[in-house]
Amino acid sequence: MRRLLITAPFSSHLVDKIRAVSPELTIEQRTLPNGRWPDDWTTEAEIYYALSAVPPLTQAPNLHWVQTHYAGVDSLENTELWQSNILITTASGVHAPNMAQYAMTQILAWAHRVPNWFHYKQTQSWTKNRWETFVPQELRGKTLGILGYGSIGRELARLAKPFGMQILVTKRNVRTLQDSGYSEPGSGDPAGELPDRIYPSEATRSMVAECDFVVITLPLTARTHHLFNEEMFKAMRPTAFLVNVGRGGVIKEADLVRALKKGWLAGAGLDVYEEEPLPERSPLWEMDNVIMTPHVSGFTPRYDERATDIFAENLRRYLAGEPLLNQVSRAEGY
């Protein structure tokens, strides 16, 4: 029998979906107290579906593979697990439909000047300068730059293309266009056919200089930390709008505030921040050219359902000796 430990609070019907993958499985489901792995817990599991904490390897001597409940793995980098050769896979793709829709909502909200709608509703009067206040940008013919062409970026490209936008993307490996990760059937851009141009990550500055809208979907790694700093903002168009649904640390926030005040770019739509929750002292709260939300772009009522779909497919592949989806590269940090 193959032992599987699950610490996510999946309902019985989702556990049954996992169990149906193979009669070889023995499944144990536990709840982590306070999200931490207790000192007195051990497991004989070969496979671990991790909600949050991972065990010291002495307390999990048979562990071969860890599937995380989330897409990001930056929290694992200082663990024994990260230093080992144990397989790690993620739930990358679980958020893609909602996060791509969120990014598109930010783009549309900025283009159609939606903050002005709510401002004048609150004043209970309309401005006399309706054209200057409400005339929108037309998205047709505008250029959208997507940083990171994974599941979120590919779904965003699919949504943006019918608006007539030109799609530019950055990709770590520009020679491999095929998507090797998980995506919802009928979504995304599996073959990498939608971008008008694809840039290597090293050419990010050149790409953003051509864009009317820029969307960050990148993970936080040593390579991406503070990628967007004063130098990058100065390269952008002064009319550009920046959206971040990746990780807050990709942007050097003090430089962003300065860039927005100096007009190096026109505005920003932020769902993630260097410090979360965003401190009351942050100047971002008072800026009219910033549309903000509290790290909610990935929220979906179908999270657990999609997460177990990803895991069930990976479990089938693991037992069959096939390559797994969303396998983490320690060298790349995701």
For the annotated catalytic residues, the residue numbers are 247, 276, 295
- Taking CA atoms, 253 is separated from 25, 60, 214, 270, 334, in Å, by 47, 40, 16, 11, 23
Residues 6+ apart with CB under 8 A from 281: none
State both tokens at 253.
Answer: 């926030």
Q: Of 232, 237, 94, 238, give the one whose Cα is nearest residue 170.
A: 232
Compute the C-alpha angle 110/215/302, nearest 5°: 95
- Per the document, the length of the chain is 334
Chain centroid, CA 151 distance in Å: 8
Residue 195 and residue 207: Cα distance in Å, rounded? 13
Q: Are 307 and 96 in contact (CB under 8 A)?
A: no
Q: Are 64 and 3 in contact (CB under 8 A)?
A: no
Tokens 């864009």: give the residue. Answer: 211
Q: Are 298 and 37 in contact (CB under 8 A)?
A: no
